[in-house]
Structure 1
Amino acid sequence: MPLIRVRQHVNPLAKKYQTPANPLEWEKIYTQPQQQLHLDIGSARGKFILQMAQLAPNWNFLGLEIREPLVVEANRLVLELGLTNLHYLFCNANNSLEPLLSSLPLGVLQRVTIQFPDPWFKNRHAKRRVVQPELVKELANYLSIGGVVFLQSDIKFVAEEMRDRFAEHPAFEKVGTETWLAENPLPIPTERETGVLSRGEPVYRALFTRRPLA
């Protein structure tokens, strides 16, 4: 995939990103729309789920990304490779999960990944971070019982905030007693993860399961 220049930071609160995505016609996107779905929020150039989709043809993969040129380029590669279990969508995840997930076949959403999101370091920009309480609530509404959410970041305070927001919701249970997972439970690392680890820097990871509510 040729590299294209895009802005590194996109403000999700900007007016141009306030229109939610339309519900998808799943049967037109995937040849097997009833397969279990892996949702990757903030897929960037999409290489992580591209490799995952090739490795696991019995899963469907959907990448959400707010930078439209990356989505166009990633979907072009999907067509070139003839993959029928992978799709990328240009949208703002903070206002588009409800219309997207409400149209899913029941029981399909089984895995969610949020990896190395834009940290938005300044406190006044905290509302721009992707893992807001409303996003956690919407994932709780649509993730299947027993489904998983995997979080990771190389910025500790971002990882802590993501972890704590999922831990605070009664539908999610953290896996393991350690503060952070030592290893990535998925078979494919992201490019950012590989780069961080190659420099000997830490990655902070947490895994949650969707539990039934009493």
Structure 2
Amino acid sequence: MSESRETALHRRPKGAPRFPEGPAPDPAGSHFERRIRSFQPRRSRVTAGQGDALRRLWGVWGLDIDGQRVLDLGEMFGGLPVVLEIGFGMGEATAQMAADDPSTGILAVDVHTPGQGNLLALAEKAGLSNVRVANGDAIILLREMLRPGALDGVRVYFPDPWPKKRHHKRRLIQSEFLSLAASRMKPGAVLHCATDWEPYAEQMLDVLSGHPDFENTQPDGGYAPRPAFRPLTRFEGQGLDKGHVVHDLLFTRV
């Protein structure tokens, strides 16, 4: 039986990128030092719809974090205030927040290819113009590609808790990261973290409370109620069903 036209069209040389016009496997390459990563790239299965979105929309709303240029967020978002979201999973909450608040731009960063494609598809379906999808290391984005005071907020929802003690050094919310994030945030900008891992929540509260660039929005110095603008995600709902307690932390850049 002869090879189908569809199979022939989708055949690619071994080692060739699956999405030539889409996100690069390692956008920063060897340009920067190899540091301890706070994330693990996941190359799980990309559905047909996600792949189609990556092929068609990456050149419009996507960008690789290569560390080789400084982004003009004003031009990118048409002058809107911009919030950086680090780690967006499958993008449902990001798309909902963007739809609920079209006056704010969301620069959403992740390394999960299916999630990148899913968020692009959701943005197109909802007609969103205030979302951009970035692929790669958020540390390189902050350090190399954003100007001081460029951000009106930073969101870190349910980062990898790295539960084993020997892996705690991989956790994102640490003093060094906070100093870098603060340098790219405007005075008054809010850093919003959320986690369902109790020991990580305690570490977040401790390191944020002790950092000179941030001030807790809660008068009692504790956790914040979940703000209405942060949607209850499917992942969060599963955790709540298991008895997990979700903690929100909202700190202002002083």
The answer to whether TM tops 0.5 is yes
Instruction: Name the residue aligned to 2:25.
Output: none
For residues 123 and 42 of structure 1, the distance between their equivalents in structure 2, rounded to whole angstroms, comes to 22
Instruction: Name the residue aligned to 2:88.
Output: 43
Structure 1 residue 163: Cα displacement: 2.1
1:136 matched to 2:178? The reply is yes
1:73 matched to 2:118? The reply is yes
Q: State the SS of the aligned residue for 2:212.
A: coil
For residues 54 and 203 of structure 1, the distance between their equivalents in structure 2, rounded to whole angstroms, comes to 24
Structure 1 residue 78: Cα displacement: 2.2
AA matched with 1:146: G
Instruction: Name the residue aligned to 2:135.
Output: 90
Alignment deviations for residues 127-186 of structure 1 (CA, whole Å, 9 cap, x no partner): 322223222111111111111111111111111222222222211001211532233353
For residues 152 and 136 of structure 2, the distance between their equivalents in structure 1, rounded to whole angstroms, comes to 21
Work out the number of aligned pairs and report it. 195
- Larger mean CA deviation between 198-207 and 158-167 belongs to 198-207
Instruction: Name the residue aligned to 1:8.
Output: none
Select the structure of larger CA radius of gyration. 2
Alignment deviations for residues 42-85 of structure 1 (CA, whole Å, 9 cap, x no partner): 11111112101111111101111122332133224323443211
Q: State the SS of the aligned residue for 2:108.
A: strand
Q: State the SS of the aligned residue for 2:186.
A: coil
Instruction: Name the residue aligned to 1:153.
Output: 195
For residues 94 and 131 of structure 1, the distance between their equivalents in structure 2, rounded to whole angstroms, comes to 12
Alignment deviations for residues 80-111 of structure 1 (CA, whole Å, 9 cap, x no partner): 44321101111122333112322xxx755212
Q: CA contact under 8 A between 1:97 and 1:135: conserved in structure 2?
A: no
AA matched with 2:115: L
* Unaligned runs of at least 5 residues, structure 2: 1-35, 42-64
CA change 1:209–1:14 in 2 (3 A) is: closer
Q: For residues 142-181 of structure 1, what are the structure 2 equivalents within 5 Å?
A: 142-176=184-218, 177-181=220-224
For residues 15 and 119 of structure 1, the distance between their equivalents in structure 2, rounded to whole angstroms, comes to 12
Structure 1 residue 13: Cα displacement: 6.6
Q: State the SS of the aligned residue for 2:224.
A: coil
Instruction: Name the residue aligned to 2:252.
Output: 209
1:12 matched to 2:53? The reply is no
AA matched with 2:235: R
Instruction: Name the residue aligned to 2:3.
Output: none
1:109 matched to 2:151? The reply is yes
CA change 1:68–1:179 in 2 (3 A) is: same
For residues 194 and 40 of structure 2, the distance between their equivalents in structure 1, rounded to whole angstroms, comes to 28
Instruction: Name the residue aligned to 2:71.
Output: 24
Instruction: Name the residue aligned to 2:232.
Output: 189
Seq. identity, % = 28
AA matched with 1:174: N
TM-score by length of 1: 0.78
CA change 1:71–1:170 in 2 (3 A) is: same
Instruction: Specify which structure has the bigger relative contact order, considering alpha-carbon pairs within 8 angstroms and separated by 6 or more residues.
Output: 1
CA change 1:185–1:55 in 2 (3 A) is: closer
AA matched with 1:164: D
* Unaligned runs of at least 5 residues, structure 1: 1-10
Instruction: Name the residue aligned to 1:5.
Output: none
